[in-house]
Amino acid sequence: MNFKIVSDSSSDVFELEGIDYAYAPLKITCGEKQYTDTPELNVAGMIEDLKIAKTRSGTSCPNIYEWQQAFEGADNIFAITITSQLSGSYSAAMQAKEEYIKTHPETKIHVIDSLSTGPEMHLIIDKLKELIDNNLSFEDITEQITEYSKHTNLAFCLESLNNLARNGRVNPAVAKITGILGIRLVGKASDKGTLEPVSKPKGAKKSTLAMYQLMLEQGYKGGRVIIDHVGNPTSADSLKEMILSEHPNADISIGSCGGLCSFYAEERGMLVGYES
Ligand code: X90
């Protein structure tokens, strides 16, 4: 019996050591140009291209065929997608599952709608690996991961919501408040899997504090944290320091957003996945 974990690229997880892992990349388009969300994508270069682009830009999720390809090679598969509320990725993965099991009737596939993205998906992927390493059955892992994901959260801090608004993923009125006088939007992935604004701090220091306060309000008590940022190591480090000052034993890692998350979180954006 072999296990495989599959994710769409919005998790920012492109490799996972010690286990069979595959990702299905999302795509970013800008006029004639298409970027595929892989580790080879030059994210900083893409952001610069998008800044000067005169044409409309957008994204698209992996198709059914790409999900099926990612499933290949295992008979117990756990697949995780970006929130179904903002992307067609979950729906494509579910359709891919239906098709795949027609030709592979012995294969078990559990598709998880993360109701989130980025580092919260990363936490769930790491937990899946841990459960598989512990030799649990497919059914037990399914049960335990469902429970675990009730205690993971996503907080974010964005300095611009232009791409989210332009692509209909957030109300334009919400988007308007950022980009002026250093105002940021701090918010969270809601239980329904939508983007929920929480506060509008001004300046970097207040934003870090607002992020940390949001984490505490959501029940953070010293569990794992993964911070993914878009070219903003300074803010990521200050949040890490702030968390460590009250929770010195917290396991906190810092990484970079891949192409999809960078497109929407934009320059200096920060996504924080944490256990509560
Ligand atoms: O299918 C597609 O083209 C992908 C569309 C994705 C749209 C949303 C991406 C959000 C990325 C922004 C802040 C966190 C929001 C969390 C909401 C659950 C990151």
Q: What is the CA(103)–ligand 1 centre distance, in A? A: 32
Query: Whose CA is closest to atom 10 on ligand 1?
Result: 264
Instruction: Identify the three-state secondary structure at position 130.
Output: helix
Task: Indicate the pLDDT class of residue 53, thresholds 50, 70 and 90.
Answer: confident
pTM of the full predicted structure? 0.97
Render pLDDT for 144-183 as a digit per residue (tens, 0 to 9). Answer: 999 999 999 999 999 999 899 989 999 888 888 776 677 8
Q: What is the CA(69)–ligand 1 centre distance, in A? A: 23
Task: Indicate the pLDDT class of residue 135, thresholds 50, 70 and 90.
Answer: very high
Ligand 1 site residues (CB inside 6 A) read 26, 59-61, 82-83, 86-89, 116-117, 154, 156, 169, 189, 193-195, 261, 264-265, 271
E strand or H helix at 198, and its extent? strand 195-199
Residues 6+ apart with CB under 8 A from 268: 159, 229, 230, 231, 232, 235
